[in-house]
Structures are given as C-alpha cells and as structure tokens.
Amino acid sequence: MPNSETRTETVKTLQWDKIRPTKRRLIQLYAALLYNAHLRGFVDGEIFQGKSKALCVPGFNCYSCPGAIGACPLGSLQNALAASGRHAGFYMYGILLLFGLTLGRTICGWICPLGLIQELLYKVPTYKLKKNRITHALTYLKYVLLAVFVIAIPLWHGLREGMAVPGFCKYICPAGTLEGAVGLLSNPKNADYFAMLGPLFTRKFVIMLIIGTACVFIYRSFCRFLCPLGAIYGMFCRIALTGVRVNEDLCTHCGACVRTCQMDVHHVGDHECIHCGKCMNKCPQKAISLKAGQITLMAPEVPAKAAAAGAAAPAAAGSSPDQTKKRSVILWSAALAVLACALIWFNFLDPSLKSQAMEPAAVAESTESAAVSSEDTEEAAESTAEIGYEIGNQLADFSLECLDGSTFRLADTRGKVVFLNLWATYCGPCVKELPHFDEFDKTHDDVVVLAVHSQFVTDDVPQFLEGRDLGLTFAIDTPDNLVWNITGGNSTLPQTIVLNRRGEVIYNQRGSVTPELLESLYQQASE
C-alpha cells in the first residue's frame, strides 16, 4: 500500500500533467515570439522597418504589429494583386505555393499566432457550441471572403484606379486591429494616432470584439469560418508534404477521429483539417501519425500495457526512446539558439534600428549645410530655433535626388512655404491625396511641394506615376531613410510636414489632408 509521500507525489504529477503545455502549444508560442521578435517595438511604439519586412512569415501575423519582423502572406497577396497592372507578384505567388506544398494547413495548427490566440480564448470556462450542420455550412464562408475581399476588391481598385486597397485587411481583419492598431495605440507615445481614427476603425474594432467573443464559445471560429489564408492552404490538402496521415492497413473506419475533432472535417487530412494531431491518441487502432513525406514527426502514444507487451509507436521504429529524447533535446536547443539570435539581432543589431534611433540633433550634425543664406530673400531671415521635427523646431537641411533628375535642397527653399508629403504607392490614402497636393502646388507660386516616397517597401515608383497627370516633384528617400529620420516619419502613412518661410515646422501630422486643410496651413505658414 503506497505511503502518504507517494500519494502526494502522484497527485502533484497528475496536476502537472493537466496544466503543462503540450509540444504543439510550445511550438505555437515559439512561432508567435519568432514572428514578433522585435520586442522593443512595443516599448518604442514603432513598427520594425528592417529588410526582413519584405519577406513573408507562413502564418497569420499583422505586418503593422510593433513586434513583427516579417510580412503577413495574406496582406502581401492583396498588395500583389493590386499591383497586377504594373508588375506580376511572382515572389508572393511563389511563396504561397511553397508554403502550401510543404506545410499546407499544418501552418494553421502549429505556427499561426492567430490560431494560438483563438485556442487560448476557447479555454475560458463557459458553454461551448459543438460542431453541427450549420458550422459545416459556414466553413465555406471563408472561400467567399477570399474571392471578394482578398482577390476581387484589390484587383478592382488596382486595375481601375491604380490604388492598393487590401480589402480584407482594411474592412475585416481582426489580427490587423488587435496586433497593428491596438498594438500601436496602446503605447502612450502614439497618443496622436487617436486623432486619425474614424468610423472604419470603429467598425473593425467591433468586428474584432465579435470574432473574439465567438472564439470563447466556438473552437477556432475565425479559422473555421472566416480565414482566407486557411482557405488558400486548404486547397493544398491532397498534395501538401506535411500533415496527418492514416495507415489504411490499421484503420477500421470507426470514425472516432472525425467525431472527436473540433474542426469541421469530413475525414482526416481534408481541407478543414489543421493537422493539430489531437486525433492520433483518439484513434483506438493508433493508425494516425504526423508526417513530413516519409519521415514520422509525431506518432500516437502507446499505452503502458501495450508498451509492456512490446508494442511500439511508429515514431519509435528503428530508434530507442533514449535516441528519440536525445534528438528532441538537440532540436529544441537549436530552435532556442535561433530564437535567441533573432531576439538579439532584431532588437539590438539590425542596421535599420540605428537609423530609427537617430536623434534630430544627430541628424543635424550630418547636415550642417542648413545655414541659411541671407541672399535668398529678405523674408528668409535665419531661424534661431533648435534643429528638430517638432512644432517650432527648424528642420535640418537635406539634399535629395528627384525622379526628374533635379536635386532638391531644403536650404534653397528659404523664403517659401514648404510642404513635404511622405507617401507610398501601397498606401491608398496617400495616392488619393496626391491630386490635392498637385492642384495646390499649381495655384501657389511661393510654395514648394516635395512628395517623398518611402524606402520602407520600394515599389516601381516611376512606373506607378506613369500616366498620372501630376506635376509634383517626386523623390525616393535614401537607403538610410534620411528624410524619414529628419522629419520623424515612420511606417504610418501619409504624413505631411509644413515649414514656414524660415524653415520652421508649423505642422507635422500623420493622416490624410484636404484642399481646405492645405489652404489653411498655407495661410498659417505665411503669417
């Protein structure tokens, strides 16, 4: 008869078994942290602007999340479709094809941060709605959203108006609202962003709350009914290299796997299966395992009695438990080493961090040609304000090569009112307001307008502008983001900076402008 110490130890073991994270949960957490390795972004309230943002991560993770080090494949697909009239998005289509062929919906079950959030919400103790005929029917809604919001809307606006309108990101995406908008707005440094919010954000915030609430009662409700990325990966269910596989020699077609699955699957491994592997231990015949081609990644647990009788799990075939454990330790050690390197690089060593961290004074030292010449005009009195980009500061001088072959020098504009417009081809509001700047520039002889395109994501700007009747002076920022650093710009666009005739900042705000606002700013700068 076991003593009290043995019973206590047994109870502790059982309690730990109930709460300890599974291998899949650890991998989900690992992926979420790796996707968002730029942790200092949450402290600085800034979006990471390194070169890795041009690359896509496999899972659903918002590009605008302060910690994101890569792009969301769904958002990138919409931007690629919007640019179809100018160039083919071979990279985007190729990377989705690669992810689909190699991993398929295994991405949804193992390395999607939004899937992790949904599963954690489902753990809230309350009534749970089980799958039924209605939920089965609703799974096809995500294909409708894929066709309309991910494909049709970006294509329509891109081909007809030359504007990037990522329909799903703009009107629905809860990840964009939670990770991007809320992630940035929660930082006190971004308090001025609240002035940019409008009905669109309110609607998206309500949609996010509805989806989040649904996830409490319905297992992975967004994943099952709304996720277009899951719809895309689901199309590869028959040919994806990685996924759960059924050993037909052992399977008795009892249906236990489908009955116990919380997704709306018709059979193991179909387009609704996220390959989480939960069905492996529900199968009485132990006929299901997770494989990558012929390699068994995970196999069902063998009961103690069966193990004592000599039964072995498929994963253990040809290897001892000690060898399996040793491989697991090596893999986890390598994974943690990769994560540690990523955290160090994206928070301390990436070259883009140095330019983001430059202080206005430091920028000024590299642009000492900001001295104002008294020969320019009588009104161009030299400013005594300190160098910076806040209201009342004198903006540091800079030179920039323009697309028309000329050179723009800020020091040469003294005596005139200067409007600097930070924009990008992928920014719908930016493109929409360019004609306002163009008309304003044509009607004011004592105004200089410079539209500076971001280096953050470089599109073919000349090709984009071709055929547009715009007489503005356009330029592309330098590779080290000179203008962005001088003006305090970031990835939230558009941004307008207005300087009075002495080169002092009288306006520096993110958000769209109207013709009325431009005229008002001109009058203010002329005082």
Query: Per-residue DSSP letters for 106-126?
Result: HHHHHS-HHHHHHHHHHTSSS
How many Å apart are CA 225 and CA 497, to the nearest integer?
43
How many Å apart are CA 431 and CA 472, to the nearest integer?
13
Q: Residues of CATH 3.40.30.10 domain(s) within the chain?
A: 360-526
Residue 157's pLDDT is 87
User: Checking phi first, is residue 217 left (phi over 0); if not, alpha (psi -120 to 50) or beta?
Assistant: alpha
Residue 298 φ/ψ, nearest 5 degrees: -155, 140
Q: Taking the CA of residue 433 as centre, how many other CA atoms within 13 Å lie in the half-sphere pointing to its CB?
A: 23
Query: Of 418, 396, 413, 495, nearest to 453 (Cα)?
Result: 495
How many Å apart are CA 219 and CA 128, to the nearest integer?
8
Residues 411 and 488: beta-carbon distance below 8 Å: no
Residue 323's pLDDT is 77
Residue 103's pLDDT is 97
How many Å apart are CA 344 and CA 348, to the nearest integer?
6
Query: Of 43, 41, 316, 42, nearest to 52 (Cα)?
Result: 41
Q: Taking the CA of residue 20 as centre, how many other CA atoms within 13 Å lie in the half-sphere pointing to its CB?
A: 8
How many Å apart are CA 132 and CA 217, to the nearest integer?
14
Query: Of 485, 415, 399, 491, nearest to 450 (Cα)?
Result: 399
Strands 242-246 and 288-292: antiparallel
Token representation of residue 412 = 């040469």
How many Å apart are CA 306 and CA 338, to the nearest integer?
38
How many Å apart are CA 506 and CA 520, to the nearest integer?
12
Residue 2's pLDDT is 56
Q: What share of the chain is helix, strand, coil (3-state, %, to 5)?
A: 50, 10, 40
Give the angle subtended at the CA of 382 by the CAs of 377 and 387, to the nearest 5°.
Answer: 135
Coil, strand or helix at 91: helix
- Residues 338-352 as b or e (16 or more Cβ within 10 Å = b): eeeebbebbbeebeb
Q: In sequence order, what E strands does 393-472 have? A: 399-401, 407-409, 417-423, 447-453
Residue 371's pLDDT is 42
Strands 295-298 and 399-401: unpaired
Surface-to-core class of residue 262, CB atoms within 10 Å of its CB (0-12 exposed, 13-18 middle, 19+ buried): middle
Residues 241 and 248: beta-carbon distance below 8 Å: no
Residue 165's pLDDT is 85
How many Å apart are CA 217 and CA 220, to the nearest integer?
9
Classify 360-526 by CATH class: alpha beta
Token representation of residue 435 = 């004609």
Partners of 291 in the β-ladder: 243, 296
How many Å apart are CA 263 and CA 225, to the nearest integer?
10
How many Å apart are CA 227 and CA 139, to the nearest integer?
9
Give the angle subtended at the CA of 84 by the CAs of 36 and 468, to the nearest 5°.
Answer: 105
How many Å apart are CA 347 and CA 219, to the nearest integer?
35
Residue 7's pLDDT is 62
Strands 295-298 and 288-292: antiparallel
Return the number of other C-beta atoms located less than 10 Å from residue 51's C-beta. Answer: 9
Q: Is the dihedral of CA 304, 308, 311, 315 positive or negative?
A: positive
Residue 189's pLDDT is 86
Measured in residues, the chain has a length of: 527
Rg (CA), the chain: 28
Token representation of residue 401 = 């090569």
Contacts of 379 (CB under 8 A, 6+ apart): 415, 501
How many Å apart are CA 408 and CA 404, to the nearest integer?
11
Residue 4's pLDDT is 63
Residue 435's pLDDT is 93
Local confidence pLDDT in tens for the 527 residues of the chain: 456 666 666 655 655 666 788 999 999 999 999 999 999 999 988 889 888 988 999 999 999 999 999 999 999 999 889 888 777 788 899 999 999 999 999 999 999 999 999 999 999 999 999 999 999 999 999 999 999 999 999 999 888 877 778 999 999 999 999 999 999 999 998 887 787 788 889 999 999 999 999 999 999 999 999 999 999 999 999 999 999 999 999 999 999 999 999 999 999 999 999 999 999 999 999 999 999 999 999 988 765 444 444 444 454 444 566 777 888 899 999 999 999 999 999 999 988 776 555 544 444 454 444 444 434 444 445 678 899 999 999 999 999 999 999 999 999 999 999 999 999 887 878 888 999 999 999 999 999 999 999 876 656 788 888 878 899 999 999 888 899 889 988 777 889 999 999 999 999 988 889 999 999 999 999 88
Partners of 202 in the β-ladder: none
Residues 408 and 453: beta-carbon distance below 8 Å: no
